């Protein structure tokens, strides 16, 4: 990686960025996304799931609740080390608390692929607004490419067993953060700590501007739905469908490894 690119900051690793997004769950558009994602999640007793880019673990919690605590295990993976605390707290929320063997945090960067997982060992993968941030710089081409994004989809397909499900959301091309902010306004009145919520919304808006700038440079990937569908089929998924959510600023995909 060239010096200029190596110097490109990845705020997702930052504690402050991770913590700002812990409050995202209080935003009305996120609640819509959460509900829609849940409608496509069908965790069954004894299954093993992976939450990619887990953040505070909202989707991990949803999976656990939907399975009524019957899942075999969930691996909650994120590049931000700070999220280990959020997942540790999450385990304690349940009664009785869930063991580390059953909900485990793994700090990893999915831009490097998922080679640590054995093929065909996972029943389901969930991911909320994270896959777009798989990044790859091509030294040969001197530009960002979708190589890490494509490899991530292929790796997810490889580690799923036949019949395994991949349910994930990604932002639409050129997302309107203004629209997300507008639809989030009422959430100030329902937030548990309105001032903290407002502060984190302001923080998130600064990171959001960075994300859009980087997407415009080709580092991050807010792709049209038909392009994502094509990539999922090329990765090996037989059944693919999608819907709009998040105040129309994100797609949710459900892909099934049919073979």
Ligand X SMILES: C[S@@+](CC[C@H](N)C(=O)[O-])C[C@H]1O[C@@H](n2cnc3c(N)ncnc32)[C@H](O)[C@@H]1O
List contacts with ligand X (CB under 6 A): 12, 18, 21, 24, 53-56, 58-59, 78-80, 109-111, 128-130, 133-134
Q: How far is the CB of 227 from ligand X (least distance, A)?
A: 20
Which two structure tokens, joined as six digits, stand for 199? Answer: 């502060």
Sequence-distant (≥ 6) Cβ neighbours of residue 118 within 8 angstroms: 159
CA atoms of 48 and 68, how far apart (whole Å)? 14
CA atoms of 175 and 239, how far apart (whole Å)? 26
Q: Which is nearer to ligand X, 38 or 238 (CB)?
A: 38
Q: Which is nearer to ligand X, 87 or 157 (CB)?
A: 87
Q: Which is nearer to ligand X, 213 or 239 (CB)?
A: 213
CA distance between the termini of the chain: 37
Q: How far is the CB of 238 from ligand X (least distance, A)?
A: 25
CA atoms of 84 and 94, how far apart (whole Å)? 17
Which two structure tokens, joined as six digits, stand for 228? Answer: 């994502």
Q: Which is nearer to ligand X, 130 or 201 (CB)?
A: 130
Q: How far is the CB of 225 from ligand X (least distance, A)?
A: 19
Q: Which is nearer to ligand X, 1 or 163 (CB)?
A: 1
Which two structure tokens, joined as six digits, stand for 24? Answer: 């995202």
Query: Which residue is it, tokens 């831009």?
Result: 111
């Amino acid at each position: 990686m060239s010096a200029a690119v190596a110097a490109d900051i990845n705020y997702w690793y930052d504690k402050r960025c991770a913590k700002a997004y812990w409050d995202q769950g209080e935003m009305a558009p996120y609640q819509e996304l959460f509900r829609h994602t849940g409608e496509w999640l069908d965790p069954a007793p004894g299954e093993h799931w992976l939450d990619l880019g887990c953040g505070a673990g909202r989707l991990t919690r949803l999976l656990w609740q939907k399975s009524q605590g019957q899942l075999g295990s969930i691996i909650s993976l994120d590049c931000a080390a700070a999220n280990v605390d959020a997942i540790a707290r999450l385990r304690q929320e349940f009664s009785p608390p869930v063991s580390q063997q059953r909900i485990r945090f793994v700090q990893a960067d999915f831009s490097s692929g998922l080679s640590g997982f054995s093929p065909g060992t996972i029943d389901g993968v969930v991911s909320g607004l994270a896959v777009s941030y798989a990044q790859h710089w091509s030294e040969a081409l001197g530009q960002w490419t979708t190589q890490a994004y494509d490899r991530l989809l292929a790796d997810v397909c490889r580690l799923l067993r036949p019949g395994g499900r991949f349910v994930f959301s990604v932002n639409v091309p050129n997302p309107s953060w203004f629209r997300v902010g507008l639809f989030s306004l009422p959430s100030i009145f329902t937030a548990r700590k309105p001032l903290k919520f407002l502060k984190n919304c302001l923080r998130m808006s600064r990171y959001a501007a960075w994300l859009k700038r980087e997407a415009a440079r080709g580092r991050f990937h807010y792709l049209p739905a038909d392009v994502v569908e094509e990539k999922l089929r090329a990765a090996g998924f037989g059944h693919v469908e999608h819907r709009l959510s998040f105040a129309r600023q994100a797609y949710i995909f459900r892909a099934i490894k049919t073979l």
